[in-house]
Amino acid sequence: MTRSAERHVLQFCHGYDGPFLDCARQYASLFAGSGYRVTTVFLTGAADAEVAAGCACDEVLFMEYSSKAIRGLKLGAIGDLRKIAASRNFSFCIAHRFKPIYIALLGTSLPVIGVHHAFDDYKRGTRKLFANIFRKRLCLLGVSDAVRDDMRSCLPKWPAARIQTLYNRIDVPALQESQVSVREARETLGLSMDAWIVGNVGRLHPDKDQDTLLQGFATALPGLPVNSQLVILGAGRLEQDLKALARELGIGDRVLFLGQVPEARRYFRAFDAFALSSDHEPFGMVLLEAMAAGVPLLATACGGAKEVVEGVGILFPLGDAGRLAQGLQHLAAMDEQQRHQCAELMLDRLQERFSDRAVRDAFWRLPLVTELAPRG
């Protein structure tokens, strides 16, 4: 590999599991028509042609480290990234999550934009120290104002302009085209066409607080259509506990646990309502996927979920099963005109705030970006 006069951006990702392949695509799409070529490097994961194609990047490289191999000082990965950085005319690096940020700062002399997808990344004293040592080369993005504010509270001496928000986003037309009809979605998932269905998608984990979801659904049930069901897509260590709770609440026959469903976003039109009960969700991509499908939303009023839902859906206090139940009953009472108006509001929100185009425009307006990356 040789250096060229072209301008390049280095995108450095921990891996491509779960939502992180689409994260790579999202950030590569920011540079469409900008004059920059994007090279995406994955720290972990085997080389995969489908992954490379899904990134929408100019070049994709796989370092193929195991999780075990990048514990400790990560000297091998630092050396390998240094060689990659020397081979291209990179202007700056976008690194997702802390380990890639650490490796990028030690393995290159590039300015680094660190993207954080979770809370508490700078709670540890060692990470605060590291960030402060490299503060002249490092600026940070959170996927929501909630994540941004968490980082600002951990790094109080940093200028606010160096810790900003850039929302996650979706390719709205592509996602809508991939989402199948109500009938096909219900047939695929084995659901009745006559049922009124509340959907939930996510890991069966304490962070998702499906206990409150079950309690709220049980409380709401007398005020819901007679054929109502709660359908949960996802797997995790709480599955048996949640099934036991459903039986204890007397709704075992009304709750379906469908496990991990590949490409679950394609089937969101199966739902009449979508409920997210998570404890401090950093963002909540499933909310965007439900909005694209036109499914009315109910979510906890905390974390990034509040920023997505406020004004286009119903918010309830974390852990408040009673308010969740009221929200479900309100959604069940909506007529077709109200559902249509709700779908239009959600689509407007997607286009204005969470579409590829809207976030691309926001990215190029960020002071930390305009300093690093002249366009054209």
Dig out the tokens for 223 from the structure.
Answer: 């005020």
The mean pLDDT value for 39-67 works out to 95
Contact 318, 302 (CB under 8 A): yes
Token pair 């079950």 is found at: 214
Q: ∠ CA 88-99-7 to the nearest 5 degrees?
A: 20
Percentage of residues in the chain having pLDDT higher than 70: 98
d(CA 304, CA 301): 9
The mean pLDDT value for 83-108 works out to 96
Contact 55, 25 (CB under 8 A): yes
Q: Among residues 110, 115, 85, which one has the least CA distance to residue 98?
A: 115
d(CA 349, CA 171): 13
Contact 42, 70 (CB under 8 A): no
Helix (H, G, I), strand (E, B) or coil at 349: helix
Q: φ and ψ at 207, to 5 degrees?
A: -60, -25
**Distance from CA of residue 90 to its chain's centroid?**
27
Side chain identity at 81, as an amino acid letter?
A: L
Per-residue model confidence as pLDDT tens digits over 139-177:
999 999 999 999 999 999 999 999 999 999 999 999 999
* Beta pairing partners, 300: 316
Angle in degrees, 0-180, between the axes of helices 356-365 and 20-29, rounded to the nearest 10? 60
Task: Give the other-Cβ count within 10 Å of 195's Cβ.
Answer: 18
DSSP sequence for 179-211: SPPHHHHHHHHT--TT-EEEEEES-SSGGG-HH
Lowest-pLDDT range of 68-72, 146-150, 235-239, 261-265? 68-72
Contact 212, 321 (CB under 8 A): yes
pLDDT for 375 equals 65
Q: φ and ψ at 141, to 5 degrees?
A: -125, 135
pLDDT for 74 equals 86
pLDDT for 4 equals 53
What is the chain's mean pLDDT, rounded? 95
Long-range contacts of 171-175 (CB under 8 A, 24+ apart): 171/29, 171/355, 171/356, 172/292, 172/347, 172/350, 172/351, 172/355, 172/356, 175/265, 175/289, 175/292
pLDDT for 19 equals 85
The mean pLDDT value for 221-248 works out to 97
Res 1 pLDDT > 50: no
Q: How many CA atoms lie within 13 A of 356 on its CB side?
A: 18
Q: What does the DSSP 8-state code read for residue 170? A: B
Per-residue model confidence as pLDDT tens digits over 192-220:
999 999 999 999 999 999 999 999 999 99
Q: Among residues 144, 152, 187, 145, which one has the least CA distance to residue 168?
A: 144
pLDDT band (50, 70, 90) for residue 2: very low
Q: Which domains are present in the chain?
A: 7-169+355-372 (3.40.50.2000), 172-354 (3.40.50.2000)
- For the entire predicted model, the pTM comes to 0.93
Per-residue model confidence as pLDDT tens digits over 56-85:
899 999 999 998 888 887 889 999 999 999
Q: Is 358 left (phi over 0), alpha (psi -120 to 50) or beta?
A: alpha
